[in-house]
Structure 1
Amino acid sequence: MLYTIFQFIIMLLILFISGLFADRIYRLVAFCRKTSSVYTALIFSLIIFYIDILGLFIFKGITHLPMLIDSFDCLQFTRRFILVSLIVAAIIGGIAGVVGWLQCRLRRDA
């Protein structure tokens, strides 16, 4: 029971940290004066989780949540999942940052 709770906490941390990382990159690339928001980090987390689950379905054949939880027992899988999540976060944050920068320049906010 305690082990399952720890796995759940680790999965939540993986999700939230990758969202915060994407939000930070978005703010760095966008050069916009708006402050960072928890909502944008949660939206980035949701998008990153969807892309990760889609990739696991296509490349690993993981079709449901118990299979994903069993896969996290392997430390090598966990490490790779974290690295891929951070890479996806950097790409999505960079793309969103460029779009945000263009919006700020077109509106003349910055």
Structure 2
Amino acid sequence: MNQKEEVCQHKMLVTRDVLEVIQGKWRIPIIVALTFGNKRFGELQRDIVDISPKMLSQELKVLETNKIIKRKLYDSMPVTVEYSLTPLGLSMKKLLDEILDWGVHFRKEIIGK
């Protein structure tokens, strides 16, 4: 295998790693919502229209497992849970900005809005 093929294979591997973490309809919206600050479950559900509680819970667990978000429990009655971005999640800012910019461009080109 030559160097060009090795570089290509490495880039494909890294790309699959990234897509594994951010793929799906809900993960990027959850991350974007958390860029506006820490949020409780209900706040995230209000921010992300049409997501079911079950799906939100599943996606939060995946993002937590991948160290994109952290979950903090507060000792209160009832127990309060708050979600926030980790340093790794915060490091996605440039990527999120690019995705959002491209999304605006896409909407203008395809949808006309």
Q: Which TM-score applies when normalising by structure 1?
A: 0.28
Q: Which TM-score applies when normalising by structure 2?
A: 0.28
- Pick 1 or 2: higher relative contact order, CA cutoff 8 A, min separation 6: 1
Q: State which structure, 1 or 2, has the greater radius of gyration over its C-alpha atoms.
A: 2
| Higher strand proportion (structure 1 or 2) | 2
